[in-house]
Structures are given as C-alpha cells and as structure tokens.
C-alpha cells in the first residue's frame, strides 16, 4: 500500500470517487454504508461521457484530470475509480497523475477477486456494457486468478435503469433473453459457471430482478460491493482499525462537468439518498 | 437562399452532412435516394457524443468545428445538420461559422413543415430523445406554424435500434407502452392528434413496427425524409432543374472523430448500404 507508512491519514479521511457519469453512485453508496465517517467527493465527467466509445489515450487524459481535481482540490487521500471503462483502460495513468501517497482502487480487480473467492467451478459469467466487454478487462483479471470468464455485453440494461424500469415486465423479458443467450453461449464453450459478476455500476439496481431470473445456485458478485470492501480493507490498514460507523449524516459532495439536471434527477436512486446540490466544475479540455 | 445568385454551384455539388453520431446516416440515406449524383461527406462527432447532455454553448462550439471541416476541407456547398440536438441548439452558430454562400438545413424545421402540411386537426405528436424533447424545439417550430405539438421522450428506442432489435417483441412492447402513454397524455390535454413526427434520426429504422402499432389514421412524418425533400428543393432552385438521378454508385465519404468501430459495424443499417471505410479526423478541442 504505497505511502501508507510515511503518511498520517486522518481518522476521517477524504475519499474521492470518480465516474464518467453518475452510475458510480452505486459504488459511493456501498462505500458510505461501510465507512460513513469518511468525507466523500464524487465527480461525474458528464461533459465527456460515455467513455466507452473513446480511445484509451483520450480516456486516460480525461480520467487523470478528474483524479487531479479530487486530490488537489478536494484533498482526497484515496481514489476509487467507480467506472469500469476507466478502470480497464486508465488505472495506470490515474496512478501516475496523483502523488504515490494516494491509494487508487478500480472496480475490476475487486470484482474478479470476489468472483475467485465465490466460485467453486472456477467458471464465471460477466455482464457489462459493450465497452467493458470489448476491453476484456474482467476476462484478463479473472484469468490472472485461474478463472475462466465468459463475458456478455447487455447494452439495453443501462437505458432501462435510467428509464426507471428497474422492476418492469419489459426489463424482466430483456434479462431473460440476455441470460438465456449468456448461459447457452457459455455452456457451448464447455463452461460450468456458478458465479455471475455485475460488471457495470448501473446493474446493482437490477439485482432483485436478476435474482428472480438467474438459476438459484449461481452466486451474484456486485463489483460495487467488492470495491467498497477493498477500500474498507485499505482504511483499516492505514488507520490501524476498521472505520467506526457513526449515525450522523455522511459528508458527500457531488460534482459534474456538464449539465447536472439528469444527475440530480436520477442520482438519488443510485445513491440511495438525495445527492444534494450537484456542483458544476470545468476541468478544461 | 443566401448566395445563390452570385455563386455558381456545380451540377454535382458537395453536400456535407453532420451528426454527433451515426444516426444521421438515415438522413444521408434519404438524401442519396433523392440526389444520387451529388458528392456526400458525412461526419459523426463520435468523440464527443452524446450532445444531449451538453450545454448549448458547448454544442455550438463542437458543431461549428464539424461544419468548418465539411466546408473548408471537404468543399461542401450545402450543410445538412442531421442531428436534432445541434439543429435545436446550434443552427445559428453553424450558419455564422461558414460562408453565407453555404446553405444550412437542420432537421427540425423540415419536420415541422411536413407536419403542418399533413395535419388536418393541427394537433401533432412528436417522439424524440430526452434532450430533443427538453429543448422543445419541435413544439416551438410547430407553434410557429399554428400547430399544437405534444412531445414525448422515448429514451429506450435508440438503444433498442443499436441492439439490432428493430423487429423484436420487446421493441413492440416498449413502443406499445410509449404510444399508450403518449396518446393518453395528449388527449388528457384536449389534443386530437392526426400526425406523428419521428423526431430522432434512429427512429426511421422502427417505422415498420410503429406503423403496426399506431392508429391507422395517424400520418407518420419522418424528419429525415422531410429534410432530404427540402435539400432537393434547394438543389433544384440553385441548379435550375431538379437533380437527375444516375444509376452509378453514389460518392459517399464518412468521417468520425473517435473510435470508428461501432460506426462501421452499425452504420450500414442506417445508410442502407455499406458505409465504406470510416476515416478518423481530429477536430481538436
């Protein structure tokens, strides 16, 4: 854990959370549930989303700007990259953009680690956006742990969540179609999966429906939860003790790089509480 | 028609077509069907889509860059803004960014004009993306012609088209739900609509399904078709005769500002023929 020995971390550290949009608020929600005493600054680079269609060089440049904003202007001691695309393509660039004393956590490695712990057959399924699947970042992280991963892009799920159809017959039907294809394709390749990774920050809102549809012997791994678990592990290492939950209202400030309307309108569903006023920031470029 | 008298337009003029993505290829398709002898240059500003979440100042800046690329580097005599958001928010900025000899046509005014010609009750329905509905550009263009317009955002339709589910039971069900809400909401406001405007460049691909679902006495206006009709009207004015269709393969060059993979993969469905190699261009900023 870089820098942890030569730096005193406040017992109420600041955790910077970054996403290209507001889906990463599900990660922030999981963080706040585990470490409510920390201060949180969340930035959604809404001016430049979606990252999925952009080149890795462009994504690295954008993500580094947001990372510097969180560290230099918000005083973040930890950075959580709550964006699958940026975690897949820009984690090293983000680490280089901030002082080595700042711990940087992406969402992909913790998801793969949790899948490794959960799976007995060592065959796992991953659902994600088109961009995340094309990066094959989950497959690589799984392979590094001796897992075989079968990835499937589910591009309709994000718009269904954003339409608010989290518990809607159409969404049930779309999930049923996607899972039928997923299971058939995986088994045609000889896999016997017992674990499903939710590889997109929007998908935790569909977990109740997914649990109804997927076979009951398949364990569900939520990357948002796994990432928050890892951050808590870092915190307890650096602070010498697990964070002590308090009952006060948590300190959360949200920023966006363009139009905040959709962020404020939909964000509370992802965060599980009101986002408060979302402040507009200009990162240049 | 600015500049038409003091400028000689080649009998094979160059028509620049601009969109934030590749949906505007449905407009290009309608143009090519009507004026196959023209040369076409299409640019999709895929590095910076979607425009819908961005401020009008930012959109105007981006759109002006694409417009200048089409005029200065591709020699466009006409510009078609095949993007509802840019047509709604940046048409004046685009006109200012190019010489006054270049005619600039957006998609909204032609759609509203066609609705005005088609509607007897003078009440029309408009379906579009969230961003277009929030701009109320169709409502304003309709009101200017004495029409009452009821607009509805249908955010799932673009992802359904991009998933390739143009003729799928889920899409039928989503359309059924949207149209039920649309008709109920419009009639609760006392409207008696007889015309439906497809206010998004993706929607022409859903026209066969929409025709099955919507009441048979409602006329469907496709903004792409209306915009192409208007361009042909300009061409025949400037050339002194309607363009003469040829049977040769049309001259079409496509450009994008970032990752061309999705453009090449999905674009041919929108264009109705292969897009050919999509060239990457850097507009800066």
Q: Which residue is associated with the tokens 């009452």? A: B148
- Tell me which chain B residue has its CA closest to the CA of residue A160: B156
Cα–Cα dist B68/B57, whole Å: 17
Task: Please compute the mean of the pLDDT values over residues A1-26 and round it to a whole number.
Answer: 74
How distant is the Cα of A212 from the closest Cα of chain B, in angstroms?
19
C-alpha distances out from residue A56 to A52, A93, B66, Å: 9, 10, 23
pTM: 0.87
pLDDT, position B244:
63
Contacts of A58 in chain B (CB under 8 A): 47, 258
Task: Report residue B255: phi and psi, to 5°.
Answer: -130, 150
Whether B200 is catalytic is yes
pLDDT, position B131:
84
Contacts of B157 in chain A (CB under 8 A): none
pLDDT range class, residue A54, cuts 50, 70, 90: confident
Interface residue ranges in chain B relative to chain A, Cβ cutoff 8 Å: 46-50, 53-55, 58, 130, 155-156, 158-160, 162-163, 165, 169-170, 173-174, 177, 258-259, 262, 285
Burial (Cβ within 10 Å: 0-12, 13-18, ≥19) of residue B237: middle
Contacts of B156 in chain A (CB under 8 A): 156, 159-160, 163
Do residues A123 and A189 make contact, with C-beta atoms less than 8 angstroms apart?
Answer: no
ipTM above 0.85, yes or no: no
Number of H helices, E strands in chain B: 11, 10
pLDDT range class, residue A5, cuts 50, 70, 90: very low
Arithmetic mean of pLDDT over chain B:
91
Pairing verdict, β A278-280 and B14-19: unpaired
pLDDT, position B49:
82
Say which range, A32-36, A187-191, A205-209, has the weakest mean pLDDT: A32-36
Contact B258 A53 (CB under 8 A): yes
pLDDT, position B279:
95
How distant is the Cα of A103 from the closest Cα of chain B, in angstroms?
30
Residue of B142, B154, B200, B254 with catalytic role: B200
Whether B254 is catalytic is no
Cα–Cα dist A58/A90, whole Å: 9
pLDDT in tens, B118-157: 999 999 999 999 889 989 999 999 999 999 999 999 999 9
A190 Cβ partners below 8 Å, 6+ apart?
Answer: none
pLDDT, position B6:
40
pLDDT in tens, A203-232: 999 999 999 999 999 999 999 999 999 999
Position B242 pLDDT exceeds 70: no
A61 is written with which tokens? 């440049």
**Minimal CA–CA distance to A219: which of A230, A209, A210?**
A210
Task: Please compute the mean of the pLDDT values over residues B31-53 and round it to a whole number.
Answer: 89
Number of H helices, E strands in chain A: 11, 10
Residue pairs spanning A and B at CB distance below 8 A: 58
- Express as a percent the part of chain B with pLDDT over 90: 79
Q: What is the DSSP letter of B166?
A: T
pLDDT in tens, B66-75: 999 999 999 9
Q: B interface mutation test: which of A21, A53, A170, A179 has the most B CBs within 10 A?
A: A53
Task: Please compute the mean of the pLDDT values over residues A85-103 and round it to a whole number.
Answer: 95
pLDDT, position B24:
96
Task: Please compute the mean of the pLDDT values over residues A140-169 and round it to a whole number.
Answer: 96
Alpha helices in chain A (DSSP H): 25-34, 56-68, 84-97, 108-118, 130-135, 137-143, 157-162, 169-188, 207-213, 223-239, 261-271
CA count, 13 A, side-chain hemisphere, A90: 30
Contacts of B162 in chain A (CB under 8 A): 155
How distant is the Cα of A172 from the closest Cα of chain B, in angstroms?
10
Position A241 pLDDT exceeds 80: no
Query: From the list A53, A174, A259, which residue is nearest B54 (CB)?
Result: A259
C-alpha distances out from residue B17 to A118, B25, B69, B212, Å: 52, 9, 11, 31
Task: Please compute the mean of the pLDDT values over residues B248-255 and round it to a whole number.
Answer: 90
pLDDT, position B4:
40
Cα–Cα dist A79/B26, whole Å: 43
Contact A159 B155 (CB under 8 A): yes
Say which range, A42-46, A234-238, B100-104, has the weakest mean pLDDT: A234-238
Position B11 pLDDT exceeds 80: no
Q: A interface mutation test: which of B19, B23, B48, B53 has the most A CBs within 10 A?
A: B53
Task: Please compute the mean of the pLDDT values over residues A99-117 and round it to a whole number.
Answer: 97
pLDDT range class, residue B57, cuts 50, 70, 90: confident
pLDDT range class, residue B247, cuts 50, 70, 90: low
Position B109 pLDDT exceeds 90: yes
Contact A258 B177 (CB under 8 A): no
């Amino acid at each position: 854990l870089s820098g942890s020995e030569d730096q005193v971390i406040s017992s109420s550290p600041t955790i910077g959370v970054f996403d290209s949009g507001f889906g990463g608020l599900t990660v922030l929600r999981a963080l706040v549930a585990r470490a409510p005493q920390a201060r949180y600054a969340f930035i959604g680079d809404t001016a430049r989303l979606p990252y999925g269609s952009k080149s890795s060089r462009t994504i690295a440049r954008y993500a580094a700007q947001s990372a510097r904003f969180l560290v230099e202007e918000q005083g973040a001691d930890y950075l959580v990259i709550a964006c699958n695309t940026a975690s897949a393509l820009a984690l090293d660039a983000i680490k280089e953009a901030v002082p080595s004393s700042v711990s940087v956590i992406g969402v992909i490695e913790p998801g793969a680690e949790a899948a490794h712990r959960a799976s007995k057959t060592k065959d796992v399924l991953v659902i994600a956006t088109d961009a995340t699947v094309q990066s094959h970042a989950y497959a690589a992280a799984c392979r590094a742990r001796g897992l075989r991963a079968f990835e499937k892009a589910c591009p309709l799920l994000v718009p269904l969540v954003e339409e608010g159809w989290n518990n809607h017959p159409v969404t049930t039907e779309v999930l049923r179609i996607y899972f039928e294809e997923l299971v058939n394709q995986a088994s045609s390749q000889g896999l016997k999966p017992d674990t499903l990774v939710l590889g997109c920050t929007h998908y935790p809102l569909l977990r109740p429906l997914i649990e109804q549809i997927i076979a009951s012997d398949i364990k569900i791994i939520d990357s948002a939860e796994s990432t928050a678990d890892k951050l808590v592990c870092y915190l307890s290492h650096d602070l010498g003790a697990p964070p002590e939950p308090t009952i006060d209202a948590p300190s959360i400030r949200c920023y966006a790089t363009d139009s905040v309307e959709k962020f404020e309108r939909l964000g509370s569903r992802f965060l599980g509480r009101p986002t408060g006023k979302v402040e507009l920031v200009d990162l240049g470029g």
